[in-house]
């Protein structure tokens, strides 16, 4: 069975292409048609970290962070031929936003990155661990390799 609606949750780190490439591999069926992939990046509101009473203009800074995230997500989408309509910058707690999006869009697979350290929380990372334990669909934790070029980058070299 090919997955029909896949959510690729990325953090915009250098490992994000590895997660996206794995999601794309899983989206192909026998006729090689790409089913719907949603590229999702979640930003935590700065007010969570700094509080509402901060002397810093958090609204302006939050807008700058969202703009930078949109630029990066758009670049990834273009590189991997993902329609911009399928790219989403969400604001909130990562795991909760991913769960809500997956339920709202009837996603049947969430793909997240994991890190090969030790212990379950370190193995998956706190966000991946939280996504795994609260999801109502399949979750694939892709073991990311640090500083590994994406296959599309390697092909361009």
Beta partners for residue 110, in sequence order: 7, 139
* CATH classification at residue 43: 3.40.50.620
Per the domain annotation, does 123 fall within a domain? no
Q: How far apart are CA 36 and CA 26, in angstroms?
A: 11
d(CA 50, CA 48): 6
Residue 37 lies in a domain: yes
Any residues with CB less than 8 A from the CB of 8 and at least 6 apart, and which?
19, 20, 23, 37, 38, 39, 40, 111
Is there a domain that residue 22 lies in? yes
Q: Is 33 inside any structural domain?
A: yes
**What is the tally of structural domains in the chain?**
1
Which pLDDT score, from 0 to 100, does residue 87 have? 95
**Domain assignment of residue 67, yes or no:** yes
pLDDT < 70 stretches in the chain: 1, 29-35, 47-56, 115-125, 147-157
Considering the domain boundaries, does residue 93 fall inside one? yes
Domain coverage including residue 71: 5-118+130-152
Q: Record the pTM.
A: 0.79
pLDDT at 115: 64
pLDDT of residue 47: 64
Give the pLDDT of residue 118. 39
| Domain contains 125 | no
């Amino acid at each position: 069975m090919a997955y029909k609606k896949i959510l690729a949750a990325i953090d915009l780190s250098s490992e994000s292409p590895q997660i996206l490439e794995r999601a794309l591999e899983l989206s192909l069926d026998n006729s090689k048609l790409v089913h719907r992939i949603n590229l999702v990046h979640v930003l935590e509101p700065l007010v969570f970290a700094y509080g509402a009473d901060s002397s810093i203009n958090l609204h302006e800074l939050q807008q700058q962070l969202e703009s930078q995230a949109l630029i990066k997500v758009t670049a990834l989408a273009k590189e991997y031929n993902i329609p911009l309509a399928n790219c989403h910058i969400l604001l909130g707690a990562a795991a909760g936003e991913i769960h809500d999006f997956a339920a709202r869009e009837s996603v049947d697979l969430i793909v997240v990155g994991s890190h090969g350290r030790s212990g379950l929380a370190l193995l998956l990372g706190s966000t991946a661990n939280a996504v795994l334990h609260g999801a109502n669909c399949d979750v694939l934790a892709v073991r990311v390799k640090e500083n590994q070029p994406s296959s599309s980058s390697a092909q361009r070299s």
